[in-house]
A and B are shown apart, each in its own frame.
Chain A
Amino acid sequence: MKPILNRRELLIRSGAGFGAIGLAATFGEQLQAETTSKMTSAGDLGQSGDGLHHPAKAKRVIFLFMNGAPSHVDTFDPKPALEKYAGQPPNEGNGKNREGGFMPSPFQFARHGDSGIEMSELFPNLAKRADDLCVIRSMHTDVPNHEPGLLLMQSGHQQPTRPSIGSWLSYGLGSENKNLPSFIALCPGLPVVGPQLWSNAFLPGIHQGMEVDTNEKTVDRLIANLHHPTMDGESQRKQIALIQQLNQMHKSGLSDHNLLNAHIDAMQTAFRMQTDATDAFDLSKETTATRTMYGESEFARSCLLGRRLLERGVRVVQVFYVRKGQKQPWDTHQKNNEGHRKLCGDADQATAALIGDLKARGMLEDTLIIWGGEFGRTPYAQMNKSDDLSKAGRDHHHTGFSMFLAGGGIKQGFTYGETDELGMHAVQHRVHVHDLHATILHQMGIDHTRLTFRYSGRDYRLTDVHGKVVGDLII
């Protein structure tokens, strides 16, 4: 066994895994009684609700990730000047099929809410939530390629060797619900890069995101091995009671109980999880009205499921906007406009529903929502010479793009930063991915420079040697 550095780790490891739990009842009727226990309150780990280094504004986070990268100039960053330069090739950079030149967005932009946040007509539902949003128009990242871009956004590093942000948060804060994992990745199909995006890398295995394929609709298909394929619940209860009885007999002959107790507790939690997770993942418990509000797509299901998980104390929910066989739907190299119309329509409804739902439940205040992709798309067209402009796509673009945040102590109805006249580069109040990470951690009560893990001879952190909390975004 390897000695671990921090108190929370010790708690987690010596406890049953998903949180430190007391020496729970072990078998017989007591076990049965345990199955009725549902949610546990925040703060099982002592400080988890209070933040690790300073008071937390957000207790949980849901990252709605638009795989493939949405186009900023078609969504949150209106660029009327593109009309003026339409058809003119950009005079910088290089890339294929750029004969189409700058391409104005065909979508109408308007100001919404009291705050007057501008967004395109593709978001009719989010428009009604404008006063809840904090749009960042000055994001930038290091490279315009999906793999490194995704890894940087999810783990702060371009190579697949570092823990994901969800794993870091799990490591730092533990879980609020001992019967569910602290970090869950919802993905109806694998995104580009794949499981590395929710990897714990060198952090202990318990901090790995639990991957759930939201194409599946029944809970047993959502979580592997949650239920015995043939044994009924009552029989399994008796079986587990027997296991725990055997474990007690085994323990009584030995003088060292720490490890044995950890295993007994983990078995206990597994048993409770069968009930709790069944409940958490069962969307049929939602009203028709709620389900209709979110929509019918895979993404909508993920968002609704995400809300159920957040509600039950899951610390980090990562929703990937992918589909079976479509690893990055937002990568609109062709027919950008048509693609964005469909994608935004879907994302708009479910995202707005999630914000409204969390707000109605009083959870938006301490839940941080993050929406965006690994970078943006070019303000100029990507097309073959022979194509007509309506089929034009937009290429990858990393030097300026938009994301938005909501809830979790972030300013509401606020637009931050600017790209230049044509949407090419973030020029004012630039926010790098590392800065975003630092800010997310800050809201969760973590100083990004102090959440470290000693590995391979040095202290690693999510933001490496970079990152600065963007104080302007915070209430």
Chain B
Amino acid sequence: MLRYLIFLTAMIHLLLQSDFSIADEKKTEAIQFFERRIRPVLVEHCYECHSATSKIIQGGLRLDSSQGMLSGGDSGAVVTPQDPQSSLILDSLRYEGLEMPPKGQLSEQVINDFQKWILDGAIDPRLDNKTPNDKSQWDLAEERKKWQYQPPLKHRLADQSSDNWSRTSIDGFILSQLEQNGLSPNPPASKRDFARRLAYDLTGLPIEEHLLSRFEADEKPNSKTRLVDALLNTPQHAEHWTRFWLDISRYAEDQAHQVGNNDSLNYPNAYLYRDWILDAFASDMSYQEFVRLQLAADLVAPNESQHQAALGFIGLGPKYYRRNSPEVMADEWEDRVDTVTRGLLGLTVACARCHDHKYDPISTEDYYALAGIFASTDMFNQPLNESVEKNGDQSKQPGDGLHIVREGKPRDLAVMIRGDVNNQGQVVPRRFLEVLTTKNKRYTKGSGRAELAESIIREQNPLTARVIVNRVWGQFFGRHLIDTPSNFGNLGSKPSHPELLDTLAVDFMDHNWSLKWLQREIALSAAYGQSSDREELKVTKDPENRLMWHMPQRRLTVEQMRDTMLVAADRLNPVVKGKSIQPDDPTSNRRTLYSKISRMDLNRMLANFDFPDPSSHSAQRFETTTPLQKLFLLNSPFAIAQANAIATRVKNISRSDESRIRELYRLVLGRPPSTEEIDAGYGFLENEMDQKWQAYSHALLISNEMFILD
């Protein structure tokens, strides 16, 4: 209370210095009344939820300024001077309608005070600072100075004369941070561990025996280079990296729910998008072109029919129940904005659908400027050929169409206040995010998709290259330079090696945005070549391995795991591209990449092994370890079929138990067994049981060594 008295005295003092009139005097009285009877109540009972310092401003209402009270919140103005009847705040205090404050009704006296105060004109001397409906609370000029909105620059390390560890441009940055923290890198991994790690990271498959023996025998310098190049140029490399992109683009072949048997919203030919991605990776298409075509192939390459499938990036997005109603379309646009901004820019723009972004300089205007592009774009089933039955321009059956997008009627959207489609604010022209542009140009060509693509991929865009470089990095190291790969905003994590990230991003752009260049640069680095050993002393200094003093142990992804089982069984079908399969069908032998991906009923095997929900963009995969996974490995018809195939191979090759055991280790783990392991095998084979070799092969096939990468 003392605080208010001091304030009051100061206020009166100020007023006394000015010219006085009777009106002024009345006003002074009113102010005194406010200060004595109203403000303390507001502070004590209301500010917690309704002031600038509230954690969450409830109902969009601020009661800590006169402006806030007069303009109100979601339910409109709460105070109408001289009109207690229309002043919502009185209803709430009386617990008629809203019940405020929620902790308990205030006394009759307090309510009467509020009534009197409103009747007398609701005089409120509190100065406004920011009110909730300010256009933007962000000082963009200031925000643009932050690292993520500054173009990346190439950094040079001062003194590298004593560094004979480094191999590629990456290593100097790693080493200098390690040294600054009194750490040193791990010794190199064994050739075997390295080759196995590399083959999984580049192709998703175990290292082939002949490549491994050639690499182990290769004593010449640059042996790693030869291995990396050999793997980079296989179709299996493109297969593996295609799945990486499908997580980002929330690839799926249907919708999360379906009305009755109506499957008209499904995407039976979604695989053509998957095939396009695969071709793009195989040909090392520049990332700029890769993004450009996925956003706007119909506009930038209308005559190149082979590239239209790229538009599946948007065209395979979720369609929701009751689409075409305004609320539902607003939800669909959110998916598009979210996939594009988190996926390509590492910004969570969809947060700004209902209110200005709380943490990043992104306004609702920014959101609706982008949403307008997708409101001007239609989902489209382009007939696969001339002969199919059509409905207008589209194929009549989804099975006869390529699921892409096309230009709709260009239109700008009005801001939907608090995300409410029925509460429209000002119309926002289609354009790019303000914080990423200096002079904000409107998009004028059709929907604006092609212009959006240019805004994203231009070299001056500070985020695009950094985001993809960080993602690719994470695929190799199991963690990213920025731990939140789809959120580079203020709530995202800070880069562990900012100069490295920036240098790599610039080099990536200088190398024609080549993903193969980037992968090669990482794969050949000394940092990536380290062992996964964990020395106690180093663990104490950097338990999270933030500084990358060792390679982490990783579990294979579900794709790598299933593919490895097929390889061990010698059953992997090498055919590249094409239609989808059911991955846990024991007879299916194509790579897991080709799994049918359902939003409605995601395959149980995939779901159990941490496959991301394909309903929305996935920033990265979780890695959980559960008994249900083990039950699949132990008892599923798929696992049993592979184990049986291996047992048959082993038994066909040799007659003696020891040579069969050796053969089993070669086929499954790609190495000879130790004496101890041979003994364990003998011990098991002594058991009385049917199908011993199947059981033994199965045990080896699902042992930890199969699924853990060092």
Residues of A whose CB lies within 8 Å of any CB of B are 1-3, 13, 16-18, 145, 147-148, 158-161, 179, 181, 190, 192-196, 199-202, 204-206, 208, 210, 223-232, 234-236, 238-240, 242-243, 245-247, 249-251, 254-256, 259-260, 262-267, 269-270, 273-274, 454, 456-458, 465, 468
Name, among B321, B322, B640, the residue most crowded by chain A CB atoms within 10 Å (CB to CB): B321
A205 B627 Cβ-Cβ under 8 A: no
Residue pair B256, A160 in contact (C-beta under 8 Å): yes
Q: Does B257 reach chain A (CB closer than 8 Å)?
A: yes
* Mask: chain B, 6-21; 1 = CB below 8 Å from A; 0 = not: 0000000000000000
> Would A250 and B689 count as touching, CB distance under 8 A?
no
Residues of the B chain whose Cβ atoms lie less than 8 Å from the Cβ of A458 = 348, 351, 358, 491
CA of A255 to CA of B483, assembled, Å? 25
Can you list 29 A-B contacts with CB-CB less than 8 angstroms, sorted by A residue number?
A1-B478, A1-B623, A16-B627, A18-B627, A158-B331, A161-B616, A190-B601, A194-B600, A196-B257, A205-B607, A227-B635, A230-B690, A235-B695, A242-B684, A242-B696, A243-B702, A246-B700, A247-B703, A255-B533, A260-B704, A263-B704, A269-B630, A270-B628, A270-B630, A456-B486, A457-B486, A457-B491, A458-B358, A468-B102
Can you list, as one digit per residue, whether each of B375-391 has a CB less than 8 Å from chain A (1) or not (0)?
00000000000000000
The residue on B at minimum CB distance from A232 is: B689
| Segment 491-516 of B: residues with Cβ below 8 Å from A | 491-492
Instruction: Assess the B703–A235 pair: CB atoms within 8 A.
Output: no
Chain B interface residue count, CB cutoff 8 Å, equals: 89
CB distance from B642 to the nearest CB of A (A): 14
| B691 surroundings in chain A (CB, below 8 A) | 230-231
Pairwise interchain contact A246-B348, C-beta atoms closer than 8 A: no
Choose among A1, A225, A263 the residue that contacts B708 (Cβ–Cβ < 8 A). Answer: A263
B binding-site residues for A, Cβ under 8 Å: 56, 102, 256-257, 259, 318, 320-322, 331, 338, 342, 348, 350-351, 358-360, 478-479, 483, 486-487, 489, 491-492, 532-535, 544, 552-555, 599-602, 604, 607-611, 613, 615-617, 619-632, 634-637, 640, 674, 676-677, 680, 684, 687, 689-691, 695-696, 698-700, 702-705, 707-708, 710
Which residues on the B side are within 8 Å of A270 (C-beta)? 627-631, 634
A179→B691 CA distance, assembly (Å): 29
**CA distance in complex: A192, B320 (Å):** 14
A254 to chain B, nearest CB (A): 7
Q: How far is the CA of A18 from the CA of B628 in the complex (A)?
A: 10
Contact A259 B555 (CB under 8 A): yes
CA distance A431 to B444 in the complex (A): 48
Question: Which residues from chain A contact B489 at a C-beta distance below 8 Å?
Answer: 457
The 8 Å CB contact of A457, one of B348, B607, B625, is: B348
| A181 touching B628 in the complex, CB below 8 Å, given contacts A201-B615, A243-B699, A246-B680 | yes
Complex CA distance for A208 and B608, rounded to whole angstroms: 9
**Chain B residues whose CB sits within 8 angstroms of the CB of A236 once the complex forms:** 634
User: Are the C-beta atoms of B615 and A256 separated by less than 8 Å?
Assistant: no
Chain B residues in 8 Å Cβ range of A456: 338, 342, 348, 350-351, 486-487, 616-617, 619
* The residue from A190, A238, A267 contacting B630, defined by CB atoms under 8 A apart: A267
Instruction: Given the known inter-chain contacts A239-B695, A468-B102, please indicate yes or no for A206 contacting B624, CB distance below 8 A.
Output: yes
- Inter-chain contacts of B622 with A (CB < 8 A): 1-2, 204-205
Contacting residues, chain B, for A242 (C-beta < 8 A):
680, 684, 695-696, 699
Contact B624 A13 (CB under 8 A): yes
* B616–A245 CB distance below 8 A: no
Is A159 within 8 A of B331, CB to CB? yes
In the assembled complex, the CB of B101 is this many whole angstroms from the nearest CB of chain A, namely 13
Instruction: Select the residue from A2, A196, A202, A274 with max chain B CB neighbours within 10 A.
Output: A2
- Other-chain residue from B554, B615, B627, B674 in contact with A160 (beta carbon distance below 8 A): B615
Number of residue pairs A-B, CB distance < 8 angstroms: 229
Residue pair B626, A17 in contact (C-beta under 8 Å): yes
- Quick one: given A1-B554, A18-B627, are A256 and B534 in contact (CB under 8 Å)? yes
Inter-subunit contact A145/B534 (CB<8 Å): no
Q: Are B533 and A266 in contact (CB under 8 A)?
A: no
Interface pair A229/B640, CB less than 8 Å apart = yes
Contact (A266, B627) CB under 8 Å given A205-B610, A224-B604, A255-B533: yes
Q: A1-B479, A246-B680, A254-B553 are in contact. List 6 more A-B contacts (CB 8 A).
A: A1-B622, A17-B626, A225-B628, A242-B696, A246-B677, A263-B625
Set A2, A16, A193, A249: member contacting B620, Cβ < 8 A: A2
Across the interface, A256 reaches (CB within 8 A) one of B318, B533, B617, B698, namely B533
Residues of B within 8 A of A251 (CB): 704
Known A-B contacts A205-B610, A228-B634; the reply to A260 vs B321 at CB < 8 A is no
Given A161-B616, A196-B600, A205-B607, A264–B690 Cβ distance below 8 Å? no
In the docked arrangement, what's the CA distance between A232 and B636, Å? 15
Q: In the assembled complex, how far is the CB of residue A189 from the closest CB belonging to chain B, in whole angstroms?
A: 13
A249–B608 CB distance below 8 A:
no
Interchain CB contact under 8 A, B626 and A18:
yes
Q: How far is the CA of A259 from the CA of B687 in the complex (A)?
A: 30
Provide the bound-state CA to CA distance between A274 and B634, in Å.
11
CB distance from B528 to the nearest CB of A (A): 17
Are A205 and B626 touching (Cβ within 8 A)?
yes
Question: In the bound complex, how far is the Cα of B545 from the Cα of A259, in angstroms?
Answer: 15
Q: Point out the residues of chain A lying under 8 angstroms from B689, CB to CB.
A: 231-232, 234-235, 238
Instruction: List 6 A-B pairs, minimum CB-CB distance, nearest first.
Output: A457-B348, A17-B626, A270-B630, A160-B256, A270-B627, A269-B627
Q: A238-B689, A263-B708, A458-B351 are in contact. Are A465 and B699 (CB under 8 A)?
A: no
Chain A minimum-CB-distance residue to B710: A254
A226 contact set on B, CB distance < 8 A: 631, 635
Contact partners of B532 in chain A: CB under 8 A: 254, 256
Chain A's closest residue to B56 (CB) is A465
Q: Which residues of B contact A260 (CB under 8 A)?
A: 553, 704, 708
Nearest CB of chain A from residue B95's CB, rounded to whole Å: 12
Q: Which residues of A contact B483 (CB under 8 A)?
A: 2-3
Q: Are A2 and B623 in contact (CB under 8 A)?
A: yes
Chain A residues in 8 Å Cβ range of B707: 263
Q: Which residues of the partner chain A approach B613 to less than 8 Å between Cβ atoms? A: 161, 199-202
